[in-house]
Amino acid sequence: MKKNKNYILTPQLDANDDKALVIDINCKNYSSINEGDIIATIESTKATFEIPSDYSGFIYFLCDIDDEVKVGDKIALVSDDLKVLNQIIDDLNNESDVEKNDKSPKLTKKAEAAIKKYKIDINKINKKGIIKEKDILDLIKPNDDSYQEILTLKGNKQLGKDLMIASKSEIPHSYVEIEFNVTKLLQVISLLQKESANFVSLLGIITYATANALKTNKFFNSYRYNNDIFIYKDINIGIVISNDNDLSLPIVRNSDFLLPDQIVKELFRIRKELLKNKSKIKDYTDGTFTISALDHTAIKSFVPIIHPKQSAVLALPSITEKLSLINEEVKIEKVINLGISFDHSFINATMANNFLSDIIIAIEEFI
């Protein structure tokens, strides 16, 4: 520890001399001294000079009376810990010249941190001079020849990765799903789209129904931190929309106060601004619940990752057609496997089942 290892050096006495003679040593080895105490006297060609200690502690001399010392030479060692002092002296005695023979590689602070993080064996480093962080990272990177391309996550993608890893490691995920028959719903939507000027969408209706269900299933509009569950005042539903290579997460604030068509308008507003790079940060923050919408894909079932500071996420996959026997007739019914990932540390499957059922009830009431 550097704090316990202070050297007293031979000072430059005058313009001419770079050497001096030790003519007196004023205290014994291992004695206790205070800052300012005169510890030795040296003599140059012109005069004698008393050397004061800049440190308090236990002293050990690295020179003797009648030794010739150069300017800058270490003449004594001071430590405030006797044990440490003994250890240093042992080390000095065991090695002929610790400083000069020190063959361990010199490292920048970032390199030291990287070695610790990636648990690198310091002896594997075969570079002369000061080793940088990049030299350590090059050791752990795979050989570039075996790869067609190497891409690096940056910016929001890197942030997304970090958040997902954090979520998976801190929240115990569990998942359930219910088969939701949407045949009638889709017929209603189709009719409304064809006949009225109102823009109706499945996502808008599901978001509306989810907001209603969250009013009575408060645990799903909350998050857990250690042993505390924080239930949000507002219901701000974020909707994960995957669009080509980019994910966007517009948040419909106070969704419990909006009708399906208002939700749709709000989504259009936010998404349009995103596409035109004019998004406002408030449209992307403070979500309390998330719907992951993959209804425009071919995916029939999936398990989404819960967002930080939330406790559940609704999975909305695409519509599946299935054959059913109804009144002795074979009919094609349309279903969605409506699923939910939830924090299992305080939410159980029964609660999840009730929540999903409440969403379906809310949709059926709307119809």
Partner 1 sequence: MDAKSITNKVIGIITETFLLQKDEVNEKSRMGYVKNWDSLNHLHLIISLEQEFGIDFHEDEIVKMTSTTIIVEIISHKIIK
Partner 2 sequence: MRYLESLNLALDQIMSDNQNAVIIGEDIKDPYGGAFKVTKGLSSKYGHRVISSPISESSIVGLGIGLSLNGFKPIVEIMFGDFITLCADQIINGASKFPWMYGSNFDLPMIIRTPMGGRRGYGPTHSQTLESLFFNIPNIKIISPSIFHDPGQILKDTFYKMKELNLFIENKISYPNEIILKEQVDDYNISIINNNTEFVTLSLVFDRQTRPDIVLLTYGGMSNICFEVARDLFIEEEIIIEIIIPSLVKPVPFSDFHESIISCGKLVIVEEGISICGWGSMITSNLNDELFDSLKAKPVIVGSKEFPIASSRKLEDKILPQKSDIKKAILKIL
Give SS3 for 324.
strand
Backbone angles phi, psi at 13, to 5 degrees: -85, -40
**Shortest CB 33 distance to partner 2, Å:** 21
Decide which of partner 1, partner 2, none touches 265; Cβ closer than 5 to 8 Å per partner kind: partner 1
**Shortest CB 15 distance to partner 2, Å:** 6
Q: From the CB of residue 9, how many other CB atoms can be counted at a distance below 10 Å?
A: 15
Of 262, 257, 318, 254, the closest CA to residue 286 belongs to 254
Q: What single-letter amino acid sits at 23? A: I
Of 136 and 206, CB closest to partner 2 = 136
Q: Nearest 5 degrees, angle CA 296-CA 298-CA 299?
A: 100
Number of residues this chain uses to bind partner 2 (CB under 8 A): 15
Residue entry with tokens 């390199």: 111
Given candidates 25, 85, 107, 249, which one binds partner 2 under the rule CB under 8 A? 107
DSSP H helical segments within the chain, as ranges?
Answer: 82-94, 98-101, 109-118, 133-140, 155-170, 183-195, 202-216, 260-275, 349-366
Of 106 and 331, CB closest to partner 2 = 106
Of 115 and 182, CB closest to partner 1 = 182
Using CB under 8 A, which residues numbered 222 to 241 contact partner 1? 241
266 binding partner 1? (CB under 8 A): yes
Radius of gyration of the chain measured on its C-alpha atoms: 36
**Shortest CB 91 distance to partner 2, Å:** 23
**Burial environment of residue 125 by CB neighbours within 10 A (0 to 12, 13 to 18, 19 or more):** middle
**Shortest CB 106 distance to partner 2, Å:** 7
DSSP symbol at 124: G
Using CB under 8 A, which residues numbered 109 to 138 contact partner 2? 109-110, 128-130, 132-133
Decide which of partner 2, partner 1, none touches 32; Cβ closer than 5 to 8 Å per partner kind: none
The residues that touch partner 2, with contacts defined as CB under 8 A, are 12, 15-16, 18, 71, 106-110, 128-130, 132-133
Q: Give residues in contact with partner 1 (CB under 8 A).
A: 190, 193-194, 197-199, 201-204, 241, 243, 261, 264-266, 268-269, 271-272, 275-276, 296
